Amino acid sequence: MPSGAEIRVYTDERPGSATAVVLQAPKPGYARRLESLTNAHSLEHGLLCRSATDLQNSLPAILSEIFGERPHWDCLTLSELDPADPSFAVLTGALRRAGLLVERTLSSGTWYEETDGLSFTEYLAARPAELRNTWRRKRRKLHETKGLAKRFFADDDKNIDQAIADYQTVYEASWKPPESFPAFVPELIRLAARLRALRLGIYYLDGAPAAAQFWIVWRGRAYICKLAHDERFDALSLGTILTMDMFERVLGEDRPREISLGRGDDPYKRMWLPKRRERCGIMASNPRTLHGLRLGLRGRAARIYHRLQRAGGARLV
């Protein structure tokens, strides 16, 4: 978590209620905000409840508690919510009835494929010809390299610390920027290993770590969390070859019902997984505070501006 942030849990205390809202309060700045307990690696987020009915009954009390605190909160920002889940409409309605200025935002796009019963052969046949041909050509060339070695890690064995060190070596030699919180991914790998949800593949060339991929397989879904390769080996297409290796192993051994490439609309993702869905956010500003009113009016003004822009563009066409 960022320095100075605080985790806050709000619950409905009535007997029989089973609803909780888990949030974080960032270090105080321009406005007093509450935010979802998410980060750049979060794929999905939601409120803890048994059903939308429970949520509908519990939210008024929870929101009253949140916005009754002193000093007042200026804004509540929730992210990575499923807009198709019944709880999304319930939450939006409850926030508006509480007198807040509510705006829906786009959190992220996610590329995925439904893989229930899908074999690797079937998966491969559905990929673009360009990707298949590149993989076959580069794999053949790579396998002629005497110095190639592969290792795969799936549980908390005695080699996990070395696996993490090798992953970090690859990441540091890749094109990717440094992590904002360097300890996060190593600890996530350790946690996944303890839960037997880890799928970590590493390629070595002449004994040195050259490419790595970190997946999590959990409750029938596979998430591709991190992938990187040493830039010195760009010409070998190690990322493409290792990705195919990981797909083959996960589809053959774990048989998930879905594989997801995580957050982001990078152009390459649709070659690997052709379906896209969106996760949305909610910004609820408190008009009873000066900063909250400013945030809410600014959000509404931006929405009106973009609508006018789209309408003007349509007329020009």
pLDDT in tens, 56-80: 888 888 999 999 999 999 999 999 9
Cα 292 from Cα 290, distance rounded (Å): 5
Rounded CA separation 65/9 (Å): 11
Q: Which residue has the higher pLDDT, 15 or 215?
A: 215
Give the chain's domains with CATH numbers. 6-109+277-316 (3.40.630), 116-256 (3.40.630.30)
Q: Quick one: pLDDT band at residue 250, thresholds 50, 70, 90?
A: very high
The pLDDT score that the predictor gives to residue 313 is 56
| Rounded mean pLDDT, 190-198 | 95
Residues 171-185 have a mean pLDDT of 93
Burial (0-12, 13-18, 19+ Cβ within 10 Å), 241: buried
Residue 179 has, within 13 A of its CA and on its CB side, a CA count of 17
- pLDDT score at 240: 95
For residue 15, pLDDT over 80 is answered with no
Give the largest Cα separation in the chain, rounded.
69
Nearest to 170 by CA among 147, 186, 158: 186
Mean pLDDT of the chain: 90
Q: Which two tokens stand for residue 209?
A: 């770590």
- Rounded to two decimals, the pTM is 0.86
Asked if residue 288 has pLDDT above 60, the reply is yes
Q: Residue 280 carries which side chain, given as an amino acid letter?
A: C
Helix and strand element counts for the chain (H, E): 9, 12
Task: Please provide residue 300's backbone torsions phi and psi, each rounded to the nearest 5 degrees.
Answer: -70, -40
Q: Is the pLDDT of residue 122 over 80?
A: yes
pLDDT of residue 124: 97
Residue 317 pLDDT: 43
Residue 53: pLDDT band (50, 70, 90) is low
- Highest mean pLDDT of the ranges 7-16, 68-77, 244-253: 244-253
